[in-house]
Copies of this chain bind each other. A is one copy, B any other.
Amino acid sequence: MEDLKYHYKYPHPSVTTDCVIFGFDGTKLNVLLVERGIEPFKGRWAFPGGFLKMDESAEQGALRELFEETGLENAYIKQFHTFSEPHRDPRERVITIAYYALVKLQDVKGGDDAASADWFPLDEVPPLAFDHDMILRTALKELRRQIHFEPVGFELLPEKFTVKELQLLYEAILDVKFDRRNFYKKMMHLGLLTQLKETIHNHPQRESFLFKFNHAKYDEFKQKGFKLEF
């Protein structure tokens, strides 16, 4: 058992990155969980994650994890907290740099390599392994905070979407209700949406316009500094 080839004068913790992957199914906010195959917490669900390699930054590590789980390469990720309680992993001291990712659910081919990965709506998330319940709560809190400064919601929608879909997304994230008409006007007024010529027919009633997120306009706003309220 002497392949322990790395020696230090002082003890060093292990460092991992975990990734809370959010996706929107059109009605509810979902998170991607993987079922643990080994002890501890065998059989419990947890966020995908793994050890940070010595030649990659935490962000690169999180992107790698994300790719391995979802096949996505250019997703939006954001570091939101580092968890460091001494006994959060019963085996050894583990420090976890946690990210959340916002992905378009429909772009993720369900559970590729990871045999047992699955999407869970926020209100149906089972008890998680380690301190991942707290990680989820923190991720949600930070996402809700972030959405006040950047229109990150668009990362969760397909390229073309209706205002109704955008509203449902915001309602799912913030857990509030908006007046349909006021929301519509506010979005139009903000100028961050580009109306397309296309329409879509989602239901037996009237068809609705499709929109794209206007990145150029957003960059313009961002330079001047702006408020984004909801």
Interface residues of A (CB under 8 A from B): 3-15, 51-52, 54-59, 79, 81-82, 84-86, 93, 95, 97, 145, 148-149
Instruction: Report the minimal beta-carbon distance from A11 to chain B, rounded to whole angstroms.
Output: 5
Known: A52-B84, A79-B82. 10 other contacts (CB 8 A): A4-B8, A6-B9, A6-B11, A12-B13, A12-B15, A13-B15, A15-B84, A56-B86, A58-B82, A84-B97
User: Do A95 and B58 have beta carbons less than 8 Å apart?
Assistant: yes
Given contacts A12-B6, A12-B8, contact A57 B86 (CB under 8 A): yes
Cross-chain pairs A/B with CB under 8 angstroms, 22 sampled: A3-B9, A4-B8, A5-B7, A6-B12, A8-B8, A10-B51, A12-B13, A12-B14, A12-B15, A13-B15, A13-B52, A13-B54, A15-B15, A55-B86, A57-B85, A58-B82, A59-B84, A79-B82, A82-B97, A84-B97, A95-B97, A145-B145
Residues of B with C-beta under 8 A to A85: 57
Chain B, residue nearest A95 (CB): B15
- Indicate whether A7 sits within 8 Å of B4 (C-beta atoms), given known contacts A82-B97, A86-B56: yes
From B6, B81, B148, A10 is in contact (CB under 8 Å) with B6
- Residues of B contacting A145 with CB < 8 Å? 145, 149
- In angstroms, Cα B51 to Cα A9, docked, is 13
Residues on the B chain within 8 Å of A10, using CB: 6, 51
Q: Which chain B positions have C-beta within 8 A of A15?
A: 12-13, 15, 84, 95
List, in ascending order, chain B residues with CB within 8 A of A97's CB. Answer: 82, 84, 95
Residue numbers in B under 8 Å from A81 (CB-CB): 79
